[in-house]
Structure 1
Amino acid sequence: LMEESHLARVIDPAGGSWYVERLTDELAAAAWSFFQETERAGGLPAALRSGMVAERLAATWAARSAKLARRKEPVTGVSEFPLPSERPVERDPAPDPYADAPGGLPRVRRDEAFEALRARSDAHLAAAGARPKVFIAALGPAAAHTARVSFAVNLFGAGGIEAVHEPVSVDAETAAGAFTASGAGVACLCSSDALYAEQAAGVAGALKSAGAARVFLAGRPGEYADVDAYVFAGCDAVAVLTSVLDRMGVA
């Protein structure tokens, strides 16, 4: 490696790439700036009473919540690669040392929006014996639809919505029967842009005629007849999943 990749030919072997040092310096500068702002406000007690600290925290949480909802900040096992069938961990709750303390700053959890969606799915499973379902209407061969099928299954699974991908692909003639057999309430088209142009409108119409409450298409928004909404990388997953559960009457 040293001979072929020149690993030893560096100006300062102890310097590394300097990225950690740069991040550390930026963090220290930002922290010092906030400390100075707090002091100008009259100190921490005054900053807390005035709401300055709460406002700063709320702004930061709002920005982070938007990233979490759009999966710009993915959470493995929650918003990415969920496993709805996993058994929940059963344990006694940890003691809360602040349970009886009045006031204080709000406490939030990174996963809370997706946890709320999964809780709705769990309640539906307990009441109805099955999770809410989405029918994956894949068009064409696997090479054309696999990537978007994986995306859609992952997206809907983050909300506790079970994906039914059977049969492997459908067309305008078979989509209605497959949707009815799936027991799903909504459907999602998955394929390539080229096949969307040829088949999306016909398949979406067949799904609507079979009773699909909402037909999604995995891909960037376009103009396809009978397609109600689009799901794509960077879309607001929490808003999409909330609307799906609402439409299917999942309390």
Structure 2
Amino acid sequence: MDRPGGGGRRARLRVGGEGVDPAVVRGSLGHDPIGLAAAVGGTPDLDPLADAVTLCAERWRGVRAITVDTRVHHDAGASDQDEIALALATALDYVRHLTAVGVPAAEVFRRVEFRVAATADQFVTIAKLRALRRTWARIGEVLEVPQADRGAWVHAVTSWRMQTRTDPWVNILRDTIACLAASAGGADAITVLPYDHALGLPTPFSRRVARNTQSILAAESNVGRVADPAGGSNYVETLTDDLARAAWTWFGEIDAAGGAAAALASGAVAERLAATRAARDADLATRELPLTGTSTFPLAGERLLERTPRAQVTADGLPRRRDGQVFEDLRARTAAAGDVAVPVLALGSQREHTTRVSFVANLLGVAGVRPATVEVATADDIAAAVESAKGAKVAVLASSRKGYEGLAGPTAEALRAAGVEQVVLAGPASEAPDTTVDGEIVAGMNIVAFLGDLLDHVGATQAGANA
């Protein structure tokens, strides 16, 4: 959609464009050879750009010839400052190529569209769009582009990387926040991806929800009619400044090394994004970056929505991966193994064990593992509880420090005598000093590694990674 008040009216084209006033046509030809090379590999061909820009300048004055699409970098793990820096470097490559063949820099600026990812991190998305406009205007100033032509025309698309296959309804909430942030950040056009986009081809219903989301949040709310609605907020201004400075620093390094195309060919872009991706993966694995419905508060007994899969395209470009994929792969392993259950022995009174039992149940649910909870209120209950756990390879003891007193040690010994190979304690091992355990479940732990080891131990085979 066009930003309200920012795009003019659209024309409905007939075949051949007969009877259409070129002055009212709006759109983009979408030329992005460097972005295409980043996505599928190969060497970018910039030669067609000059003819495309000239055509738009002469006939389709409201059409932009070039799209600088940084979503390929975002999906490969780029941070927000990385995305801005690569947008600037790519666009500057195009400017230099075109000015070298005689196209004025101002005309190039008028023909460039930036297409960026909008995420559910509301304030960061707002700041990213503002920082992109600021830094692009600075490049225009250095190139002596007239001030009226320095503005960045931004098309924000809700992030594919943030979408999940598990509990996909949460994607509606993510897209809602991202759409509002894009509008408040001054996006000229916004596209909301359907909530089932990560599962395959969307349905008419999911497309309608996506359309209505952007219509209400960006248009009917009139947020897009306000010039820089987040401007003046000390937090947003500071965040914008931090992003702009960080992006400008790496942009300078890319430019000094020969530009975006050269950095892509040398592997510098892939190396940088891989490092950023690794740091993000660590935060996801420890739930420093939680994914509601996937890494936290999973929907117990969920059956995934079924959608028609998209055609698979072989590409040698930058890798694409969603944040939730590693958790979905764990869930796929469990599903392939059938019903995987782990005994959870709740020690002591309900008041003592309820919090930890809930924590363990949610943790196991991330991998689709069913907690088989058995209460052990006193030492007399140990025998019956252990009997119910026979045949299990892993068992979990769950309670508070007080609940573990006098019960954790004997229960762990009885479990091992019954053939349980690993006994895991919910909470730090120091809370049960008289108990020998094989692991502990604590806040901030790497749950991907823990759940992967658990599935290995119970014999859940590896399943193919999803797309």
1:29 alignment partner, SS class? helix
Match of 1:237 among 444, 447, 452: 447
Aligned to 1:24: 240
2:385 is the alignment partner of 1:178: yes
- Report how many aligned residue pairs link the two structures: 229
Aligned to 1:132: 340
Aligned 1:65-214 pairs, distance under 5 A: 65-94=281-310, 99-101=313-315, 103-125=316-338, 131-166=339-374, 168-182=375-389, 184-214=392-422
Aligned to 1:61: 277
Q: Deviations over 1:139-171 (max 9, x none)?
A: 1111111111111111111111100113x3344
**Gapped regions of structure 2 (runs ≥ 5):** 1-229, 462-467
Shift, 1:224, TM fit: 4.1
| Higher Rg of the two aligned structures | 2
Aligned counterparts of 2:379 and 2:422: Cα–Cα separation in 1: 17
Contact 1:190 1:217 (8 Å CA) reproduced: yes
Mean Cα deviation higher: 207-216 or 14-23: 14-23
2:423 is the alignment partner of 1:215: yes
Change (3 A) 1:186 1:39: same
Aligned counterparts of 1:199 and 1:224: Cα–Cα separation in 2: 10
Contact 1:177 1:210 (8 Å CA) reproduced: no
Contact 1:171 1:203 (8 Å CA) reproduced: no
Aligned counterparts of 1:141 and 1:16: Cα–Cα separation in 2: 53
Match of 1:37 among 253, 256, 272: 253
Mean Cα deviation higher: 176-185 or 32-41: 176-185
Contact 1:137 1:170 (8 Å CA) reproduced: no
Aligned counterparts of 2:290 and 2:273: Cα–Cα separation in 1: 21
Q: Deviations over 1:87-113 (max 9, x none)?
A: 1111112456xx244x21111110121
Mean Cα deviation higher: 214-223 or 147-156: 214-223
Give the AA of the match of 2:457.
Answer: R
TM-score when normalising by structure 1 = 0.84
Contact 2:348 2:407 (8 Å CA) reproduced: no
Aligned to 1:10: none
Q: Deviations over 1:188-219 (max 9, x none)?
A: 11111133243211111111122222111011
Aligned counterparts of 2:429 and 2:388: Cα–Cα separation in 1: 28
Q: Relative contact order (C-alpha < 8 Å, sep 6+): which is higher?
A: 1
Aligned counterparts of 1:100 and 1:149: Cα–Cα separation in 2: 45
Identity %: 48
Aligned counterparts of 1:171 and 1:188: Cα–Cα separation in 2: 17
2:326 alignment partner, SS class? helix
Shift, 1:62, TM fit: 0.6
